[in-house]
Structure 1
Amino acid sequence: MAMKNMFDYIDIIHDKFPLVPKEDIKKILSFGLKSIYLHNMYGADTMIQDKVKNKYLFYIGRLTYDSLKHFFYYIKKMTTKIRILYNKRKIKWDGYYYFGLTEEQYNNYLSQQKGRGRKRKWFNFGTIMLYKILDECKINEYNKEYFFRVPYIVDLGYKTLENDYVTDKAEYLFYRKKEGFKSLNK
C-alpha cells in the first residue's frame, strides 16, 4: 500500500463537496493537518469526533484503564493545553506568580502572625512551587486549598520551585475546597 499525502484527498473531498473550490479545500486540509501536527508536537492529545452521529473518528494520545495514571496524565495534558492557549491568545503576563498552600502550610503561615504589637511583614511559606499562570497553578496544586499571588519583576518561566520561600508581598486570593478530580475544573 502506497503512502498518501494531503494532495491525494483533495479530489475525493471535492467530489463530496462540489461547491467548495479545490483551492479552499487545499487550504482547509493544510491548516487542519498542520494544527494536528503542531499540537501533538507541543505534547497535547488530539481527538476528532462527529457530534451529529455522536461517535469518535480518531484519537491521538494515551489511553489507560488505571484511574490514578489517568488522573496524572489528565493533569499533564491540561497543563499543556493551558500553556498552548496562553501562547495562542498572546495573553500578556500580569507580573504575578501564584502558589497554593495545604491546610497545614496555611496554619503555619497564620501562626507567624503576631496577635499583639507591630504586625509582622516577612513570612516563611516553606517549599512551594510558583506558577506563572493561575489556571495552571489550580490544576497542578489540586490538593491545595489556599491560593496566593506574589509580584515578580522578572519572568522566571512557567514554574519554579522555591525552598524556604520568604516574602513580604504575598497576597491571599481565595480558598478552594479539596474535592479530588472535581477540583481540577474549578
Structure 2
Amino acid sequence: MYEPNVVGDWQEYDDEHAGLRIRVHGLEKAEPPRGRDDAAEGLIYFRFRVTVENRTTEHFGIHLEDGQLDIRIGTDGESAFLDWRNSQFIEGFDVYPLRRATAVLFAAAPESGLSHVDIQVQLKVDDEWTERYLWSGGIGLHEPAVGVGARPESAADGLAAQVISFLEREAGQGPAS
C-alpha cells in the first residue's frame, strides 16, 4: 500500500532522475511578506518549503510553479488557497551537484482544517515531468485526530497518529548546538 511521506521526509527519485531528491518541510502558520490577498479573507495563512537536492555528478534544470502543487486540508481534502503572488517558486533553475534549491510557498485555509494538511508536488526536471509525491502533516497538532465513524482506539494505528508522533518528536528536539 502506498503511504504518503511525512512533512520533513526526503523522497528519492528513481530511473533517469536517480540522485535527485525532494522534500516538503517547514510547515507553520505565517503571514505573507507582501500582505494578504483579498481572496484569503477570513482564512489563516501558513507557509511551507519545497527543497530539491542534487546528489549526482550532473546538473538538472528544475521548474516548480503553482500548477505543480496541490494543497488539501482537513479530513475531507478540501482545497487550500495557494497565494502565488507571495510565494517564491523555482523557475528554470539549474541545480548543480551537491546543491539545493528551495521554494517558499504561502497558502491559506480555514483554521479548522490545518490539523491535516496534504501537499502533493510534481516537479519538472529538464522539461520532463517526474512522479507525483504526497506529504502529510498538520499545524497545531496536540491531540490525535479521530475520523468520523472511527473508534478512538483504532486511531493509534492510522497515518494521522504516525504524523502526530513524528511532529511531537521533532518539536521536542531543539536546534543542534
Q: With structure 2 as the length reference, what TM-score do the two structures score?
A: 0.23
Q: With structure 1 as the length reference, what TM-score do the two structures score?
A: 0.22
Bigger Rg over Cα: 1
Higher normalized helix content (fraction of residues): 1
Higher normalized strand content (fraction of residues): 2
